[in-house]
C-alpha cells in the first residue's frame, strides 16, 4: 500500500519475503515543481522497494502520487505570497545594510563603496546618492515615522545626517575613536544613538549636532542598540557578552544583563510596553 503523508513524503507499506509487513516513510526533500516524475519513480523503486516482491506493479500508483506532489508544488508557486519584485544593481561594491522608510515607498542602501543611496521602491529608480564618507557606510536609518532625515554611520568613525528628500548634508557627528557599526533614532526623531568598535555608544542632538551623552561601560565592541518608545532609556548589546540598560538623560547605567556565553548581536525593546 502507498499513500501520501506530507507535501513531500510518501508512506510505503510493503510485504517482505517472510510475509511480514513493514512501513516506511520516504521524504522527497529534493522534489521540486520541475522534477522529472519518471526519474523520481525509478529512483524510489530502485532504492525503497527493492525488497517488495510486487514493487514494480505499484509503479502506476506511485507515479500518480509523485505527479500529485509535483502538481501541488506548482500550484503553491503560483499562489505564493512572496516573489521577486525587482533586482537592483545598487552599488559597485557589496551592500552592508538596507532600510525602508515608514511608508515603504522608499528605501536606503549602504555600501562598501562609501555611499548611501535612496531608492523608489516601486519603480526601482535611484532618488539620490549620499556621498561624503571616506570609508565604508555600515549603519543606516530613517527617522521613522517622519522619514525626512537619514543617518549614516561609517568606518571613518563619523555619523552623518542627511535630508531624505534632497540628499543635502546636515551634520557630521565626530567623536568615536573607531568604526561606527550601529545607530538608531529615538521615536521623536530628536536624538541619534551610535555604537562603535571603540566599546562606547554616543547620543547626539539631531537639531544642533552636539554630543549629548557618552555611554562608557562595556568591555567590548557595541554592535547593537535600541531606544524605548518614550526615549528615556536605551539598551546596548556588546561583544563583551552583556546588555546594558542606560538612562538617556544622565548617561548612567541602570542595569547590566548577563548570562550569554557569546557576543550579543541584536537587541530590541518590546515597543508595546510604555515605560
- CA geometry: angle at 180 spanning 177 and 184, to 5°? 130
CA 133 to chain CA mean position, Å: 25
Same domain, 8 and 42: yes
- Tell me the pTM: 0.70
Asked, for residue 189, whether it belongs to a domain, the answer is yes
pLDDT at 193 over 80: yes
63: left (phi over 0), alpha (psi -120 to 50) or beta: alpha
Pairwise CA distance, residues 259 & 195, whole Å = 21
How far apart, in whole angstroms, are the C-alpha atoms of residue 87 and residue 171?
32
SS3 43: helix
By three-state DSSP, how is residue 82 classified? Answer: coil
* CATH number of the domain bearing residue 123: 2.130.10.10
Residue with more model confidence, 201 or 80: 201
Please indicate, yes or no, if residue 89 is contained in any of the structural domains: no
Claim to verify: residue 253 and residue 188 sit in the same structural domain:
yes
On whether residue 265 sits in a domain, the answer given is no
One domain for residues 46 and 127: no
The verdict on 69 and 183 lying in the same domain is no
Q: Residue 85: inside a domain, yes or no?
A: no
Residues 198 and 156 in one domain: yes
Among 24, 45, 78, the domain-final residue is 78
Q: How far apart are CA 233 and CA 228, in angstroms?
A: 6
For residues 36 and 101, membership in a common domain is answered with no
User: Cα-flanking dihedrals φ and ψ of residue 171, to 5°?
Assistant: -140, 155
Domain stops at, among 78, 112, 129: 78
Could you tell me the CA-to-CA distances from 41 to 1, 15, 21, 38, 74 in Å, in that order?
A: 15, 19, 21, 5, 18
* Whether residue 117 sits in one domain with residue 37: no
Number of structural domains (the chain) is 2
Per-residue pLDDT, 67: 85
SS3 content of the chain, % helix, strand, coil (to 5): 15, 40, 45
pLDDT at residue 273 greater than cutoff 50: no
Both 175 and 116 in one domain: the answer is yes
What are the pLDDT digits (tens) for 76-116? Answer: 665 556 667 778 888 999 999 999 999 899 999 999 999 99
**Percentage of residues in the chain having pLDDT higher than 90:** 63
The answer to whether residue 62 is domain-embedded is: yes
Asked whether residue 270 is assigned to any structural domain, the reply reads no
Containing domain of residue 43, as a range? 2-78
Is residue 109 assigned to a domain? Answer: yes
Please state, in angstroms and as integers, the Cα–Cα distance from residue 134 to each residue in 45, 91, 114, 236, 252, following that order. Answer: 63, 16, 6, 26, 32
Query: Same domain, yes or no, for 107 and 199?
Result: yes
Which pLDDT belongs to residue 164? Answer: 95
| 152 and 247 both lie in a single domain | yes
Residues 101 and 30 in one domain: no
Report yes or no on 233 lying in a domain.
yes
Range with lowest mean pLDDT among 8-17, 41-50, 209-218, 257-266 = 8-17
Which residue from 153, 168, 175, 192 is spatially nearest to 118, judged by alpha carbons? 168
Looking at 78, 108, 139, the residue that finishes a domain is 78
What is the rounded CA–CA span in Å between residue 153 and residue 213?
Answer: 17
- CA dihedral for 34, 40, 41, 42, sign (positive or negative): positive
Give the span between the Cα atoms of 158 and 152, in whole angstroms: 8
CA distance 12 to 83: 35
Are residues 164 and 119 part of one domain? yes
Amino acid at each position: 500500500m502507498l499513500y501520501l503523508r506530507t507535501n513531500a513524503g510518501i508512506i510505503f507499506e510493503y510485504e517482505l519475503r517472510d510475509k511480514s509487513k513493514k512501513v516506511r516513510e520516504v521524504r522527497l526533500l529534493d522534489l521540486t515543481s520541475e522534477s522529472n516524475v519518471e526519474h523520481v519513480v525509478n529512483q524510489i523503486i530502485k532504492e525503497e522497494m527493492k525488497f517488495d516482491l510486487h514493487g514494480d506493479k505499484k509503479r502506476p500508483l506511485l507515479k500518480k502520487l509523485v505527479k500529485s506532489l509535483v502538481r501541488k508544488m506548482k500550484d503553491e508557486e503560483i499562489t505564493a505570497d512572496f516573489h521577486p519584485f525587482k533586482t537592483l544593481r545598487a552599488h559597485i561594491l557589496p551592500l552592508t545594510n538596507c532600510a525602508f522608510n515608514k511608508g515603504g515607498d522608499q528605501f536606503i542602501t549602504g555600501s562598501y563603496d562609501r555611499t548611501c543611496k535612496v531608492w523608489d521602491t516601486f519603480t526601482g529608480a535611484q532618488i539620490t546618492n549620499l556621498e561624503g564618507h571616506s570609508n565604508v557606510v555600515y549603519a543606516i536609518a530613517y527617522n521613522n515615522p517622519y522619514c525626512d532625515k537619514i543617518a549614516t554611520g561609517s568606518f571613518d568613525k563619523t555619523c552623518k545626517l542627511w535630508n531624505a528628500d534632497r540628499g543635502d548634508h546636515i551634520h557630521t557627528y565626530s567623536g568615536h575613536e573607531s568604526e561606527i557599526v550601529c545607530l538608531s533614532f529615538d521615536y521623536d526623531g530628536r536624538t541619534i544613538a551610535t555604537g562603535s568598535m571603540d566599546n562606547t555608544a554616543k547620543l547626539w542632538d539631531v537639531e544642533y549636532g552636539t554630543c549629548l551623552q557618552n555611554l562608557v561601560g562595556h568591555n567590548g565592541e557595541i554592535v547593537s542598540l535600541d531606544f524605548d518608545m518614550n526615549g528615556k532609556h536605551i539598551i546596548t548589546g556588546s561583544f563583551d557578552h552583556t546588555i546594558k540598560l542606560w538612562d538617556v538623560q544622565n548617561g548612567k547605567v541602570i542595569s547590566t544583563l548577563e548570562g550569554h556565553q557569546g557576543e550579543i548581536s541584536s537587541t530590541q525593546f518590546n515597543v508595546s510596553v510604555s515605560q
